[in-house]
Chain A
């Protein structure tokens, strides 16, 4: 069972423990990437001696908390309306800073709250360079409402609102965020824990708007085996489907993991029933990945003098 809300799980000002961020007994599905992501975030905060306040819009991530008066989150948490997490976080971070208090204000949002309904709010917070860290756990679907498409859903994926497979490609949110020239934008995978931890460390060392996109497997929406979750996102990184990279100040690109040259994206599609094998053009997919990587490599080669 979750502990009671409002009960002190930690002494004032003490860092998070990984158990403290996401407690046992939460409601997430087995194999949910969000659970792993939260645990890894808790660990990184603990290692850095940091605390945090979570700001969570409507999404699976708030159902995770469970029902009042219990909560699975061992840190101060506010559930906001679907489109408002970055706005509420801006207010909270302002008051934290005015009062010289410690702790990160962290948004934890799904792709619906990020790519779709919350995009204007997020864009405005980025443009203002609010002093917050924004995590999008990207499960490429509206999980909370039972698996509808979002603009992050990849082409060909079947969802309840794209019953014949989605025609459009996934939106490139990292480029959108980088175009805001925010201090830090990065992609993370739960299959690459060291890289994951390094990026959180990097984000914690900076101030201003930091945007981190986690590829977050969702067995329920992806119609995959819970035990396959980590393996699936590993394939996505190693085959080049989900590049791991960082963008500093919207200009300086750094690729963290190159495709290994042997992992085939075919394995990624065949192990998820949201894709139908006969609808996937593997040749075109491989070509798209290659083009994207060549573009990233070109961007990463451009060495720009830092502007202070």
Chain B
């Protein structure tokens, strides 16, 4: 294990590559790769990694990147890729298929604004538009968390009780391009943490199995139900993987839902990614001033940790949900799921949505202070509030 100052992209590339290398004692590793800002350094890292038993295929599109990655997984190899924004949009058809094929692929996604208008900065709308597929989703706030979550993702995805792909997300530039001190584990440690991949339903040259073909409603329904059952097992298997990780690397990779000062909090901020880092500091300051306020960081978004969220907000009377995404005509995606989690449980709760940091806008402590002041003034929740709109600027439409 060595401490190094690296970017979030480097941490992700390192985790994907060493995880792939760890499967050299089994069927090896392979992936299809395609560049897009701001994840390009991840696939460049993977491309130059000296795999003992692996192949990195530089393809012509994201659609094919996932195609090759799925082919490798169907052959029983450890497989992974990375993408972002319009790359994810272009890849979407095959992202969906990877889940329904039940392939334990890990994809690192760098959250970037979908264009147009073209914009390379952070916005989580790209991965959130994929929320209804059979994928697990984790949102990370710093480089260490990206590395740890990516390694953990392989173990979780490949567990025979799960067999679903995992998306590990980080904020564009704020994490992807920021250098931070990061603990990079040795290959031997990764080898010990990740057992050889044994994908029972992989294609074998001597077995006549057809994967992904037609089905009648009853069989299709059973397959969907099996996915739902696997999703239901995720929280428990995640904890097992987390313990195994802590044992292997001497470090806690973090819980699926992380609370800060929520034990007696009347006001709770629900946030993800680097917005959670900033919100934590604001909470710390307000606590010092005697305010009963706390933070819930959603690390795992799929499956959605409804029960843990309800637990964490037990003493709360009002919640601010920060959404760095906008589902057109509806509001923030995290807000929708948060409201659904409390529906019928806590109809007294005031849950207000704040659309903050969209299209790469900065979410500074001052922005979060403004949100909290607004929340305190409310007697009831309103429609999603747009933060950062400059009333005085005249944008020609």
A residues near B, CB below 8 A? 3, 5-14, 20, 51, 53, 55, 62-63, 65-69, 71, 73-81, 83-84, 86-96, 98-99, 101-103, 120-121, 123-124, 128
Q: Is the CB of B67 within 8 A of A80?
A: yes
For this complex, 24 residue pairs linking A to B, each with C-beta atoms less than 8 Å apart, are A7-B208, A53-B203, A67-B214, A67-B216, A71-B208, A73-B210, A77-B208, A77-B213, A79-B214, A81-B63, A87-B66, A87-B71, A88-B74, A91-B30, A91-B71, A91-B75, A92-B203, A95-B27, A95-B71, A95-B72, A98-B53, A98-B55, A102-B205, A103-B205
Chain A CB within 8 A of B165 CB: no
Q: Is the CB of A53 within 8 A of B205?
A: yes
With contacts A95-B30, A98-B54 taken as known, whether A75 is within 8 angstroms of B214 at the C-beta atoms is no
Minimum Cβ distance to chain B for residue A85 (Å): 8
Minimum Cβ distance to chain A for residue B290 (Å): 57
Minimum Cβ distance to chain B for residue A251 (Å): 24
Query: What 0/1 readout, one digit per residue, does chain B (49-74) give for beta carbons within 8 Å of chain A?
Result: 00001110101110111111111111
- Tell me which residues across on chain A come within 8 A of B210, comparing CB atoms: 5, 65, 68, 71, 73, 76-79
Q: Complex formed: what's the CA distance from A92 to B77 in Å? A: 9
- Tell me which residues across on chain B come within 8 A of A81, comparing CB atoms: 63, 67, 93-94, 97
Q: Complex formed: what's the CA distance from A93 to B73 in Å? A: 11
What is the interface residue range for chain B against chain A? Answer: 35 or more
- Tell me which residues across on chain B come within 8 A of A91, comparing CB atoms: 30, 32, 57, 67-75, 77, 79
From B27, B205, B207, B215, residue with most partner A Cβ within 10 Å:
B205
List the A residue with the shortest CB-CB distance to B216: A67
- Tell me which residues across on chain B come within 8 A of A6, comparing CB atoms: 207-209
Q: Is the CB of A76 within 8 A of B57?
A: no
- Tell me which residues across on chain A come within 8 A of B208, comparing CB atoms: 3, 5-10, 20, 71, 73-77
Minimum Cβ distance to chain B for residue A37 (Å): 18
Cross-chain contact of A78 among B32, B57, B64, B211 (Cβ < 8 A)? B211
B residues near A, CB below 8 A? 27-28, 30, 32, 53-55, 57, 59-61, 63-77, 79, 93-94, 97, 203-216, 219
- Tell me which residues across on chain A come within 8 A of B93, comparing CB atoms: 81, 83
**In the complex, given contacts A10-B208, A84-B70, what are 14 additional A-B residue pairs having Cβ atoms less than 8 angstroms apart?**
A53-B205, A55-B71, A63-B214, A65-B214, A75-B208, A76-B209, A77-B208, A77-B209, A87-B65, A88-B67, A90-B71, A91-B67, A92-B71, A121-B67
Q: Is the CB of B68 within 8 A of A90?
A: yes
Cross-chain contact of A87 among B64, B203, B212 (Cβ < 8 A)? B64
List the B residue with the shortest CB-CB distance to A81: B93
With contacts A68-B215, A94-B55, A98-B27 taken as known, whether A88 is within 8 angstroms of B71 at the C-beta atoms is yes
Minimum Cβ distance to chain B for residue A28 (Å): 14
Q: Is the CB of B70 within 8 A of A88?
A: yes
Q: Is the CB of A11 within 8 A of B206?
A: yes
- Tell me which residues across on chain B come within 8 A of A66, comparing CB atoms: 213-214
Q: Which secondary structure dominates chain B's binding surface?
A: mixed
- Tell me which residues across on chain B come within 8 A of A78, comparing CB atoms: 71, 74, 203, 210-212
With contacts A65-B213, A77-B210 taken as known, whether A87 is within 8 angstroms of B54 at the C-beta atoms is no
With contacts A73-B208, A77-B211, A79-B210 taken as known, whether A121 is within 8 angstroms of B63 at the C-beta atoms is yes
Minimum Cβ distance to chain B for residue A262 (Å): 45
Q: Is the CB of A94 within 8 A of B213?
A: no
Q: Is the CB of B214 within 8 A of A68?
A: yes
Q: Is the CB of B219 within 8 A of A51?
A: no
Q: Complex formed: what's the CA distance from A84 to B71 in Å? A: 10
Cross-chain contact of A96 among B68, B205, B211, B216 (Cβ < 8 A)? B205
Q: Complex formed: what's the CA distance from A99 to B204 in Å? A: 12
Q: Complex formed: what's the CA distance from A69 to B216 in Å? A: 9
List the B residue with the shortest CB-CB distance to A13: B206
List the B residue with the shortest CB-CB distance to A99: B27
- Tell me which residues across on chain B come within 8 A of A79, comparing CB atoms: 210-214
Minimum Cβ distance to chain A for residue B140 (Å): 27
With contacts A51-B205, A87-B59 taken as known, whether A99 is within 8 angstroms of B28 at the C-beta atoms is yes
List the B residue with the shortest CB-CB distance to A95: B75
Minimum Cβ distance to chain A for residue B206 (Å): 4
Minimum Cβ distance to chain A for residue B52 (Å): 10
Q: Complex formed: what's the CA distance from A43 to B62 in Å? A: 37
List the B residue with the shortest CB-CB distance to A20: B208
- Tell me which residues across on chain A come within 8 A of B28, comparing CB atoms: 95, 98-99
